[in-house]
Amino acid sequence: MIIYCIEDINDLKYVGKTKQKLYKRLASHKSDKRRKHHYASSKLNLYNCIIYPLEECEEEVSKERERYWINKIDCVNIRKFNGRNKDNKKDYDKVYRKEYRKNMSRQQKDINNARRRELRKLKNNNLN
């Protein structure tokens, strides 16, 4: 496993782990951002950034090593691991769900507005 860091032009950093080659992992982050996934890496400018390895380790210790780097580096990762995972996870899940609902409601409003516009066009065309 590779523990990596993405650093953007604004000096924001994101720490992650992967089995992939780093350029492929960066491409995956970019794809996730286009699909509007709400990962911490979405705060970064992924088109003006570098990705580099912090360390390589065995898969069995990769989570522990990722936690180490997240705590060591000032990064945008949502959850800092400080030994109280359950509390942090609850807070993270609460914030994530709230943001997800807010964004979904925005998307739904946009979809509904687009449908209304289309219906108005159809009605206007049928009246003429």
How much is the pLDDT for 6? Answer: 93
Residue 41 DSSP code: G
Q: Give the burial string for 17-36 (b: 16+ CB within 10 Å, else e).
A: bbeeebeebbeebeeebeee
pLDDT, one tens digit per residue, over 1-52 is 999 999 998 889 999 999 999 999 998 888 876 666 556 677 788 888 999 9
- Which residues lie below 8 Å from residue 37, measured CB to CB, with a gap of 6+? none
